[in-house]
């Protein structure tokens, strides 16, 4: 596993930190299983627009979750993929929990790997897509941002699989006898 940490653009780090605070504030009121990747992306977007600089973005941009344009005339373009892995809890009508999926299925693993592959393949240099706002601009950074629930037990769970991935920044917060881990990976 690669242990060298790569630098994260401050715009991305500040937006991630804001999203993490929003998630932390939401958890006492809303069960984690009611939240998803779109919720976390919304929190992240709030963190982008809260910054005191010129920032624009597009969601679902050319099969990427988010394109961020930051910084006015010296505009930096950044691509981001979001992943949100939490236990799937099944409840009966009376609210009693009956089952919990704790580990990633083959589909989760494949989606994660495909996201990394797609980001790696996207050209770093100037590209000439038909969209006028990005013609001739270079992608300054590509990021995979993940939120992963862990049980903290010795049982196999989502984090036991994804912790073997190289992340450039991680944070966590306690939740439901376990923890929720937030991760940023710089993709090159």
CA 35 to chain centre: 13
The chain-wide mean pLDDT, for the chain, equals 83
- Digit-coded pLDDT (tens) for 72-131: 767 888 999 999 988 766 667 877 776 665 666 788 888 889 999 989 888 765 555 555
Q: 80: which strand partners?
A: 66, 143
With 60 as the cut, is the pLDDT of residue 2 above it? no
Instruction: Say which residues have a Cβ less than 8 Å from residue 146's Cβ, sequence separation at least 6.
Output: 82, 83, 84, 85, 112, 162, 167, 181, 182, 183, 185
| pLDDT, tens only, 22-57 | 999 999 998 888 899 999 999 999 999 998 788 989
pTM: 0.84
What is the rounded average pLDDT of the residues 167-174?
Answer: 91
By the 8 A CB rule, do 159 and 128 touch?
A: no
């Amino acid at each position: 596993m690669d242990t060298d940490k790569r630098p994260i653009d401050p715009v991305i780090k500040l937006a991630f930190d804001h999203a993490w605070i929003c998630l932390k504030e939401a958890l006492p009121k809303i069960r984690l299983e009611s939240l998803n990747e779109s919720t976390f992306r919304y929190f992240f977007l709030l963190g982008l627009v809260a910054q005191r600089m010129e920032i624009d973005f597009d969601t679902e941009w050319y099969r990427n979750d988010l394109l961020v344009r930051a910084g006015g005339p010296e505009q930096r373009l950044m691509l981001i993929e979001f992943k949100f892995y939490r236990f799937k809890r099944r409840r009966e009508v009376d609210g009693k929990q009956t089952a919990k999926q704790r580990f990633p299925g083959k589909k989760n693993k494949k989606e994660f790997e495909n996201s990394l592959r797609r980001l790696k393949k996207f050209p770093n240099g100037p590209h000439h897509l038909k969209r006028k706002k990005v013609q001739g601009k270079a992608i300054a950074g590509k990021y995979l941002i993940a939120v992963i629930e862990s049980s903290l037990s010795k049982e196999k769970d989502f984090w036991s699989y994804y912790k073997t991935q190289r992340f450039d920044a991680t944070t966590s917060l306690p939740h439901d006898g376990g923890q929720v881990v937030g991760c940023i990976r710089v993709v090159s």
